[in-house]
Amino acid sequence: MLANQFVAAGVDPSAVNAGELAKLIEARREIPRAAFTEALAASGEPGFSAERYLGEAAVTDASELEPLIERILAANPDQVETYRGGKEGVLGFFVGQVMKETQGKADAKVVSELLREKLKA
C-alpha cells in the first residue's frame, strides 16, 4: 500500500528516512488522512521530519464533536428527515459537513458513529 502511495506522490522510496516514516506509520490512526498523505508525499525530501504531521492529531473527542454535529443537524432539517425516511446515504453529506468544519481533522469513523446516534433520536 505504501509503495503505491509513494509512486502516486512521485517519491523515491530509497530517499525516505526510515525512522521518520516509522513514526508516521505508528501514528497513522491518530492523524487525519490528509495529513498522513501529505506527510508521505513530503517524506522523500531531505531533512524530512514527521513531527509537524504528528502534531495534527485527529479530532476524536465526542465532547468536542457533538456540539458541531448538533449544529449541522439543526441547520439541515430536510436532510435529517431524508435520512430518517430511509435514505441513509445522506450520512455522507453530514460527515462531509463535519469534515469541512474541522478542516479535515475529525476522525470520520467517530463522526459517522456520533451522527448515527444523533439521527436515531
* DSSP letters for 54-95: HTS--B--HHHHHHHHHHHHHH-HHHHHHHHTT-GGGHHHHH
Residue 86: phi and psi, rounded to 5, are 115, -5
Length of the chain: 121
Domain extents in the chain? 2-54, 62-120
Average pLDDT (99-110) is 87
Model confidence at 84: pLDDT above 80: yes
Residues 42/13, Cβ–Cβ less than 8 Å = no
Average pLDDT over residues 70-82: 96
Write down the pTM of the prediction.
0.62
Residue 104 has pLDDT above 80, yes or no: yes
pLDDT tens, residue by residue, 15-62 = 888 899 899 888 887 787 888 888 888 988 888 988 888 877 777 788
Q: Predicted confidence band at 116 (pLDDT cuts at 50, 70, 90)?
A: very high
C-alpha cell at 2: 505504501
DSSP 106: B
Q: What is 62-120's CATH number?
A: 1.10.10.410
Single-letter residue type at 58? A
Instruction: Give pLDDT, residue 1.
Output: 66
Alpha-carbon dihedral angle through residues 97, 103, 106, 111, given to the nearest 10 degrees: 0
- Mean pLDDT, rounded, of the chain: 88
Where residue 31 falls (left for φ over 0; alpha for ψ -120 to 50; beta otherwise) is beta
Q: Identify the sign of the CA torsion 7, 10, 14, 20.
A: negative
